[in-house]
Amino acid sequence: MTDDNLEPRSVRASRTTITELMIPSYANFGGKIHGGILLSLMDKVAYVCASRHSATYCVTVSVDGVDFLQPVDVGDLVSLKASVNHVGRTSLVVGIQVSAENVRQAIVKHTNTSYFTMVARAEDGRPVVVPPLVLESDDDIRRFVTASRRRRLGFRVRQRMETYREKFRFDDRTKAALEGERCVIANTAGLQRR
Ligand SMILES: CC(C)(COP(=O)(O)OP(=O)(O)OC[C@H]1O[C@@H](n2cnc3c(N)ncnc32)[C@H](O)[C@@H]1OP(=O)(O)O)[C@@H](O)C(=O)NCCC(=O)NCCS
């Protein structure tokens, strides 16, 4: 199962947690924490986790499943727990669980779980092979299989959308696709050109 003679590494070895207190300057005009602040923290923890596993510099290539389920408040202590869920040849999927704790009331809420695909890079920018993953628990196995499936589905969706973009025409299907949508066509030039 080894690739290019790289020693497999456990999920445990690169598990990473970042904890940060949400200060007033992180808030939006509604008084809640900006989604971008959380995304930046997720990117950081994904970078550390992926670089620990691969022992290389890593870059973010894709982000999946960023649905903010609950707002985060100023004063909350945000924890981001990251672990490598899957490795391909040069890419790694890092799963990140984000929670926010109201420290005075000791209430912890789960805000989101997201998946960052990172690619290991050499000094010259070329993707490099990453070590295989040692799966030590049922959770490790479940996450690996689920991530592998999500990755394959992602490739298929990207391919189909690419074909759709290339083949897009102003035709009756365009009109049908707009039925029931909350939009108004202000310039019908495209539809008239067909
Ligand atoms: C990441 C990068 C090095 C990949 O380069 P590339 O020439 O596409 O390399 P490859 O086609 O060999 O792909 C490398 C890996 O990334 C994966 N990959 C590429 N695009 C992907 C995508 N959209 N989603 C998920 N995985 C992707 C490939 O499947 C491959 O994985 P594998 O080796 O495990 O099978 C290049 O796209 C890059 O530098 N992007 C900018 C990254 C960056 O700067 N991020 C910071 C945010 S600004």
Tens of pLDDT, residue by residue over 133-160, are 999 999 999 999 999 999 999 999 999 9
**pTM summary value:** 0.92
CA distance 194 to 192: 6
The residue written with tokens 């727990």 in the block is: 81
The dihedral over CA atoms of 53, 14, 142, 109, expressed in degrees to the nearest 10, equals -140
Atom of ligand 1 nearest to the CA of 151: 25
Q: What is the dihedral sign for C-alpha 161, 163, 165, 171?
A: negative
Pocket test for ligand 1, best of 43, 61, 89 (most atoms within 8 A of CB): 61
* Residue among 120, 100, 148, 125 nearest 14 (CA): 120
* Digitized pLDDT (tens) for each residue of the chain, 194 residues in all: 345 789 999 999 999 999 999 999 999 999 999 999 999 999 999 999 999 999 999 999 999 988 888 999 999 999 999 999 999 999 999 999 999 999 999 999 999 999 999 999 999 999 999 999 999 999 999 999 999 999 999 999 999 999 999 999 888 888 899 999 999 888 877 666 65
Q: Which fold does the domain 9-193 belong to in CATH?
A: Thiol Ester Dehydrase; Chain A (3.10.129)
